[in-house]
């Protein structure tokens, strides 16, 4: 009987930790801020105010290619160099985001950045 109770306790504890882990590693943010887009070698940078939604599910930024994120006390950092270079930093305390992408599309090399405040 004691073995059964211990087993149930361990299973319950494991279930609770999994729920807590999933909750902290999955979230969605809607952020509004300044976006800048530039085609390398062309004159001028296109700037605009836009709203961007970021979804992190099970510790991965949901994108064309899901990007693994690292979690610290206040920061979530998602970084990839697959196809494009991307670095996203989410400050969970200040509810701000910085996102940078550099890559190559049919029209050439480009850079795109976004800084915003999130809800």
DSSP 59-75: TEE-SSS-EEEEE-SSE
Q: What pLDDT, in 10s, does the model give residues 95-108?
A: 999 999 999 877 78
Take residue 16 and report the two structure tokens written for it.
């609770």
Q: What pLDDT, in 10s, does the model give residues 67-81?
A: 999 999 999 999 999
Residue 4 phi/psi, 5-degree rounding, is -65, -45
> In sequence order, what are the residues at sequence separation of 6 or more whose Cβ sits closer than 8 angstroms to the Cβ of residue 28?
53, 54, 55, 56
Q: What is the rounded (10 degree) CA torsion for 112, 59, 26, 84?
A: 20
Q: What pLDDT, in 10s, does the model give residues 7-52?
A: 444 444 344 344 344 346 999 999 999 999 999 888 889 999 999 9
pTM for the full predicted model: 0.76
67 contacts 93 by C-beta, under 8 angstroms: no
Take residue 26 and report the two structure tokens written for it.
């999955």
């Amino acid at each position: 009987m004691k073995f059964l109770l211990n087993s149930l306790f361990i299973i319950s504890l494991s279930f609770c930790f999994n729920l807590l882990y999933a909750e902290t590693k999955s979230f969605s943010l809607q952020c509004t801020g300044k976006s800048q887009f530039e085609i390398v070698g062309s004159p001028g940078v296109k700037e605009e105010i836009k709203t961007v939604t970021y979804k992190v599910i099970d510790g991965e930024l949901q994108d064309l290619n899901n990007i693994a994120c690292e979690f610290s006390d206040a920061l979530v950092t998602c970084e990839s160099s697959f196809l494009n270079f991307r670095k996203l930093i989410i400050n969970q305390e200040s509810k701000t985001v910085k996102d940078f992408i550099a890559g190559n599309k049919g029209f050439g090399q480009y850079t795109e950045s976004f800084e915003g405040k999130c809800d």
